[in-house]
Structure formats: C-alpha cells, structure tokens
Amino acid sequence: MFPVSVFIIAKNEADRIGATIRAIRALTDDVVVVDSGSSDGTQAVAEELGARVIYNPWPGYGPQKRFAEDQCRYDWLLNLDADEEVSPELLAEIRALFSRGEPPCRAYGIRIAETYPGESAPSALAYRIAPVRLYHRDAGRYSSSLVHDRVELKPGTKTGRLKGLVHHRSVRSLGDQLAKLNSYTDQQAIDLEVRGVSIPTWRVYFEFPAAFLKAYFGRLHFLRGTYGFLIAMNYATWRHLRLAKHYERKRLNGLTKAGSRTERA
C-alpha cells in the first residue's frame, strides 16, 4: 500500500461505485466515500469494499470535495468520481511513481476518457480531458465553487502528467444523462446569480447550435456514429438550459424588483 488517500463523492451510485473502488484497492488502505444521502445502497457497497463512508449533506460540488479532502488520512490525494475507473495501466503508473519515493512533482494531471454504455474501455477516438486529480494537499485544494470542481493549485506548483487513463462511464443512458444535466443547470443558474455574472440575452439564440458544433466536432463525437450525435445533442441541450434558466432568473428578479418599486411608490 502507498501513502495516498482516494476520495470519492457520491449519491445513488450503487451500480458504479464498486468498480471505482475495486480498481484502486491495490493502491491504498484509505478510501473515503462522502455520501450526500443515497437511497440505493451506495453506502453498503462502498463499506463492503473497505471504504470509510461519511455522510455530508450536499453543499455543492466544490465544497463537497473540500469536505472530502479534510477526511483523508494521507497528504497525497487522488480524487475520483463514482463513475470513474482507474485503468490497470494508470494504477501501475501511480504505484511506480510512489515506489521510487516522494514524487518529483506536487500535482499530476490525469487523462479521463469518455466511455459509452456497452464499451469495456474507451474508444481510441474518445474525448479526453486531463485535469489535476493526484496532488499533495500542501499544493492546493478544490475550488469552493458550487459547480466547478477543479483543484486550485498554489502559484509555482510543479505539475506533471500521467499517461494512463481513467475510464469515465458518465452515461448510464441518454435519458439519465439528460436528467442529470438538467438538474446541474439549476445549480449553474444559481451560481451565476450568486457570483453576480450576467450573460447577454442574445446568447440564448445561439447557444444550442454553437454547443452542438463544439461537442460534435470539437469533442470528436462525429467520429462515434449515431450515439456520438445523440451525446452531442444532449450536451447542446444542457448548455441551452443553463442559459435559459439564467435568463429566466434575471427576468423574474427584474419583475420582482419592478413590483417592489411600484409598491413603495
């Protein structure tokens, strides 16, 4: 075992979190699952696989991951989502990194590849991102943003990148994905309002086609056949709903303020 804590935030992930935990059990004896109120047995699945399960009411993505960081035993932290699975190649790479002593960098980007339903591993054409997921706690921590779950590193932090993949099984089905994204847009609209951000209304008219083109071509979904087209459509719908709800909140807030002025008059 190595001095690395793995932390996972979860809610109703009983069908996926088992694979996530099993993939990293040979790495660490400290797996922390922060659950925000699952009703499908997620907690039992995680506990049976040796994870410490801690309940914390949902405060938003960033705050939940910050809470999870604070529960970890070791100073080196590896964050995974409950729908992500470390590949054998990445596991071996991380083990080798720590076998040589203290890693040379204080943070590492890890490539995360979309894995469609029915695929045992990501396609060679799969869209990939490489955020920092393995890091020393003195190098930074997760943002406090309600919707942006990214590690904010201290200036000058030496950062490396690992070669192995995380398999991201984010899509249970197209309907489940759309429902999840729809819920996420509620939080995004609130976050924009809290931060005082106002996106121009004209973007509502162009967001859907622009987002579709970004996903279909920019994220290479056009190479993935009909399912790739449908995933791109869901992505565009998500981006459209984000702006639609933002516009609606601005409009209703404007009407409320106007009504208040009328009453005072």
Q: What is the DSSP string of 139-207?
A: TEEE---SS---EEEPTT--EEEEEEEEEE---S-HHHHHHHHHHHHHHHHHHHHHTT----GGGGGTH
What contacts 65, CB < 8 A, 6 or more positions away? 7, 9, 79, 142, 149
CB 53 within 8 A of CB 29: no
Instruction: Give the tens place of pLDDT for each residue, 35-47.
Output: 999 999 999 999 9
pLDDT for 146: 86
Report the candidate in 215, 127, 139, 135 with the shortest Cα–Cα distance to residue 165.
Answer: 127
Residue 94, H or E segment: helix 88-99
Q: In the chain, what is the greatest distance between 2 CA atoms, to the nearest angstrom? A: 74
Q: How many CB atoms lie within 10 A of CB 123?
A: 15
Reduced to 3 states (helix: H, G, I; strand: E, B; else coil), residue 70 is: helix
Those residues with Cβ within 8 angstroms of residue 74's Cβ, 6 or more apart along the chain or in another chain: 3, 4, 5, 28, 30
Q: Domains in the chain and their CATH numbers? A: 4-168 (3.90.550.10), 174-264 (no CATH)
pLDDT at residue 253, rounded to an integer: 85
Question: Which amino acid is present at 130?
Answer: A
pLDDT at 258: 55
Q: For residue 205, how many C-alpha atoms fall within 13 Å in the half-sphere facing its CB?
A: 3
Q: How far apart, in Å, do the first and last CA atoms of the chain sit?
A: 70
Average of per-residue pLDDT values in the chain: 93
Residues of the chain with pLDDT under 70: 255-265
Q: In the prediction, which pLDDT does 256 show?
A: 59
CA atoms within 13 A on the CB side of 260: 6
